[in-house]
Amino acid sequence: MTGSSTDHMLKVTWSSSTGWGVPEIVPYAPLPLDPAATVLHYANECFEGMKAYRSKSTGKIRIFRPNLNAKRLNMSADRIALPSFDNDEFIALMRAYVAVEERWLAWSGNATFTVGDDNDFLYLRPMIIGTTPRLGLARPNDAMFLIIASKLPSWHSRPLRLLASSPAETVRAWPGGFGYAKVGANYGPTLQYQTHAASLGYDQVLWLFDAERRYVTEAGGANFFVVWRTDDAAVEFVTAPLELGTVLDGVTRRSVIELVRERMPDIRVTERQFSVDEIAAAVDSHRIIEAFACGTAYFIAPVAGINISGQEIPIPLKVEGKSGEYARTIRRWLEEIMYGETDHAWGVTVN
Amino acid sequence: MTGSSTDHMLKVTWSSSTGWGVPEIVPYAPLPLDPAATVLHYANECFEGMKAYRSKSTGKIRIFRPNLNAKRLNMSADRIALPSFDNDEFIALMRAYVAVEERWLAWSGNATFTVGDDNDFLYLRPMIIGTTPRLGLARPNDAMFLIIASKLPSWHSRPLRLLASSPAETVRAWPGGFGYAKVGANYGPTLQYQTHAASLGYDQVLWLFDAERRYVTEAGGANFFVVWRTDDAAVEFVTAPLELGTVLDGVTRRSVIELVRERMPDIRVTERQFSVDEIAAAVDSHRIIEAFACGTAYFIAPVAGINISGQEIPIPLKVEGKSGEYARTIRRWLEEIMYGETDHAWGVTVN
């Protein structure tokens, strides 16, 4: 019944008259939800994805940039008509919860413990749902904040093959919509086309927007970067911009941009609309360097190829045919911070 | 806890390995849902809205065109990666459930019973939710079909005042999206702007599409019709078309179109994209006749005015300042069918 979840959950209820109640960490158990509860009808639900890691040097548990998740959860909650949650309280509750569930993370008892690649993490899922038991479409007067956790497999061990969507037929997000918010309404509707992609042997959909311009937005539920050589011979990382509200302001996306700008000052990092045809042209003219998807669940997932309108466009994987060199480097930088191999402000120790 | 729901629910569970199970009508009660259940994270949820009425002539209970709801539920389920449900079984279960809950409908015991205007109905909510307790984004392997019912107030007794949305800022649905499906993902995201409209004193949002062309799509969660005199002096009903996938194929919408075409052959009924500026122009040139929203919950709701970019555009209400004449006539035609005053193929007797 409980799938791969751990055995505790953190729960706080809210009502519009009394605000947030007292948080409790309780045994993981089904939630008794009224069949008329808002969340089951009008998708008043939002969530975050985070991971907890055990420090390689100290054995202590760390989480990554939780302040960004706290802020984004509130933004998502606002977009889907749910109450906001205090940012500091969010981080305090994450710490309290992870301290209880840390035994789900491997620990050899000494500082030279080798983590099982990126497999050794605990996936954390803070979430808010609307629970008012009334069918009329209205802002919920009742809600619940929960944190649950799951031992997820590292499900992208091999490079991704992507199917570029057909934006005349299907669109993930649009300007003025809610593609930037981590709300359930962005995910369920993608499964129909994702199933189609999987039936053709692809790992994920590369979501395009605008039938003529075919702008690249996201890959599956992750952000997407392409790296190529520009006409003036610079190395450039390109990813979709946030301003149109069609892509998620990913914590990994932002961290990639910041690390590359800080540690590889010669490389250009550009947030702009770019088309899948520009990728094809870069492959044709041998300017392509690599591409990767990134997100908390995927981490840094190298891309091996993209099907664009029925044509297979191969993307180089220079490191043992498994990754691009930049993706490999950035992944290591992030792992060092996440697993506490280096001290860094982004790594927050829990206990 | 149970809000305004009645005291029974119908429940059928599904799994991808065994299909749909045996339906049960059980006491209304909270559903024990795993906190990782798909529906709480990825909005795998769809529903229908229907009403049951007691026949004025026979006292028997009737529902309206349930075959259309059965088909639409399956279309919605497919769009949101949920299993389909047999159409005939759907109707059989609606009958069985309504037969149990019919005591919630007033009944004087004689054939001249006067129903309390359109207040006297039982609102029925068939729904499907994804229940697989696993966090990875994937098609649910488990689902539940439910029917619940509610005594809803007739919440639009006065003509609606609409706030036309600003499509450069907010958009309800997009071609290639899912605006045509009755999925939760279409509803929760509208509440933010609906709250803004309510704070300015408006009943509902008139959702526009395309910042330049400002096409009218839906009003709140209902379809929208305008009636005007054309340049060649014909009376024309105009409503947004279905082909773009941005409006719901409403049962009331379809019934209005069919009844007007059948019973008012001189009147033109046009499904096409039309802009809110065309409405303003029709008001300016005194060609406007009336406008109304329609849907199962709203029924036929006359529109008193529309705020377009800050300008109040009044819409005529020739019948006692409460309704247009066409809206009143169509409403009566539909009531006659719903409440069994006339025999009609659209009215299906339940018991």
H helices within chain B, ranges in order?
Answer: 38-42, 66-79, 87-101, 191-199, 251-263, 276-284, 325-338
pLDDT band at A154 (very low <50, low <70, confident <90, very high): low
Task: With beta carbons less than 8 A apart as the criterion, state whether B45 and B127 touch.
Answer: yes
Residue B109 has pLDDT above 60, yes or no: no
DSSP-derived pairing of the beta strands A31-33 and B160-164 = unpaired
Look up residue A342 and give its amino acid.
T
Distance CA A311, CA A309 (A): 6
Residue A40 has pLDDT above 50, yes or no: yes
Identify the sign of the CA torsion A205, A208, A211, A213.
Answer: negative
| pTM attached to this predicted model | 0.96
Chain A: residue whose CA lies nearest to B135:
A150
Q: How far is CA B302 from CA A133, B115, B203, B268, B298, in A?
A: 29, 21, 12, 19, 10
Nearest 5°: CA angle at A121, between A115 and A125? 175
Most B-contacting residue of A16, A39, A132, A139 (CB-CB within 10 A), to test interface: A39
Spatial CA neighbour of A43 closest among A181, A147, A248: A181
pLDDT digits (tens, 9 = 90+) for B224-272: 999 999 999 999 999 999 999 999 999 999 999 999 999 999 999 999 9
pLDDT digits (tens, 9 = 90+) for B308-328: 999 999 999 999 999 999 999
Average of per-residue pLDDT across A73-84: 98
What does the pLDDT read at residue A119?
A: 52
Across the interface, do A135 and B127 touch by the CB < 8 Å criterion?
A: no
Residue B59 has pLDDT above 90, yes or no: no
Average of per-residue pLDDT across A110-139: 77
The beta strands (E) that lie in A50-130 are given as: 50-54, 61-64, 122-130
Across the interface, do A150 and B36 touch by the CB < 8 Å criterion?
A: yes
What does the pLDDT read at residue A116?
A: 43
Residue A12 has pLDDT above 70, yes or no: yes
pLDDT band at B118 (very low <50, low <70, confident <90, very high): very low
CB atoms within 10 A of CB B2: 17
Both structure tokens of B202: 């408006």
Average of per-residue pLDDT across A191-206: 97
Across the interface, do A36 and B3 touch by the CB < 8 Å criterion?
A: yes
What does the pLDDT read at residue B151?
A: 85
Across the interface, do A31 and B33 touch by the CB < 8 Å criterion?
A: yes
Per DSSP, the residues of A171-208 read -S--TTSSTTS-BGGGTGGGHHHHHHHHHTT-SEEEEE
A vs B: CB pairs below 8 A: 222
pLDDT band at A305 (very low <50, low <70, confident <90, very high): very high
Looking at the complex, report in whole angstroms how far the Cα of residue B273 sits from the nearest Cα belonging to chain A: 18
Looking at the complex, report in whole angstroms how far the Cα of residue B233 sits from the nearest Cα belonging to chain A: 38
Which one of A56-60, A135-139, A214-218 scores highest in mean pLDDT?
A: A214-218
What does the pLDDT read at residue B2?
A: 38
Q: How far is CA B298 from CA B172, B205, B294, B333, in A?
A: 19, 14, 6, 16
DSSP-derived pairing of the beta strands B122-130 and B61-64 = unpaired
Most B-contacting residue of A7, A16, A40 (CB-CB within 10 A), to test interface: A40
Look up residue B1 and give its amino acid.
M
Across the interface, do B138 and A191 touch by the CB < 8 Å criterion?
A: yes
What does the pLDDT read at residue A117?
A: 44
Residue A118 has pLDDT above 70, yes or no: no
Which residues touch B136 (CB under 8 Å, ≥6 apart)?
A152, A155, A297
Residue pointed to by tokens 């649905």: B173
Average of per-residue pLDDT across B141-145: 98
What does the pLDDT read at residue A156?
A: 54
Spatial CA neighbour of A276 closest among A250, A312, A242: A312
Mean of the per-residue pLDDT values of chain A = 93
Determine which helix (DSSP H) or strand (DSSP E) holds A237, and give its type and residue range. Answer: strand A235-239
Residue B13 has pLDDT above 80, yes or no: yes
Task: With beta carbons less than 8 A apart as the criterion, state whether B249 and B180 touch.
Answer: yes
Across the interface, do B36 and A167 touch by the CB < 8 Å criterion?
A: no
What does the pLDDT read at residue A105?
A: 86
What does the pLDDT read at residue A74?
A: 98
Which residues touch B124 (CB under 8 Å, ≥6 apart)?
B48, B49, B50, B51, B52, B63, B94, B97, B98, B147, B148, B149
What does the pLDDT read at residue A298?
A: 85
Residue B189 has pLDDT above 60, yes or no: yes
pLDDT band at A232 (very low <50, low <70, confident <90, very high): very high
Q: How far is CA B102 from CA B48, B51, B59, B61, B93, in A?
A: 19, 11, 11, 7, 14
pLDDT digits (tens, 9 = 90+) for B67-99: 999 999 999 999 999 999 999 999 999 999 999
Average of per-residue pLDDT across B149-155: 76
Residues of B in contact with A129 (CB under 8 A): 40
Distance CA A95, CA A348 (A): 9
H helices within B137-243, ranges in order?
Answer: 191-199
Instruction: Please state the ipTM of this predicted complex.
Output: 0.96
Out of A30-34, A119-123, B130-134, B303-307, least confident range: A119-123
What does the pLDDT read at residue B106?
A: 75
Candidates A34, A177, A189; nearest CB to B80: A189
Distance CA A228, CA A218 (A): 18
